[in-house]
Amino acid sequence: MVRVVRLAEIRETPLDVVEVLAAVEDDAAGGVAVFVGRVRDEDGGRGVRGLAYHAHPSAADRLREICEKVAADHRVPALAAVHRTGELAVGDIAVVVATAAGHRGDTFAATRDLIDTLKAEVPIWKHQLFTDGTDEWVGAP
């Protein structure tokens, strides 16, 4: 049996784009698309000095479910997604998703669906720390 979802994890350790790309390596793929989400230095005009991601215990299972659904919906031969938790600095990689498909349009659509659904439905919350000393929770219930 061929595994379509090659990697679906939530980790506290730094993420590696090369690892995610290697996970979607597939001879049936004429196109590979990757999205890398990084911590930026501002949000809504406010300076960001860092942030922390916190995941619900069910987050890893939900991530895998979303990966399986996106893979089935887009019929891609390979898909991978990893999200980081813990404290991150500006410039750190927070999330990496990649898909491989026969054609570029299919992989672009699958990658966009994967990152958008992950951000909307995986219970991971962001605690932003601003340069002015204030903070804000994003996505928390």
**pLDDT tens digits along 73-124:** 998 999 999 999 999 999 999 999 999 999 999 999 999 999 999 999 999 9
Q: Given pLDDT bands bounded at 50, 70 and 90, which one contains residue 135?
A: very high
Closest to 99 (Cα-Cα) out of 68, 62, 59: 68
What ranges do the domains of the chain cover? 5-138
46-60 pLDDT, tens digit per residue, is: 999 999 999 999 999
Closest to 79 (Cα-Cα) out of 36, 27, 121, 23: 23
pLDDT at 28: 87
* CATH classification (class only), 5-138: alpha beta
**Helix, strand, coil content of the chain in percent (nearest 5):** 30, 40, 30
Order the strands of the 5-11 sheet from edge to edge. Answer: 5-11, 78-84, 93-101, 31-38
Is pLDDT of 1 > 60? no
pTM of the model: 0.94
pLDDT at 75: 87
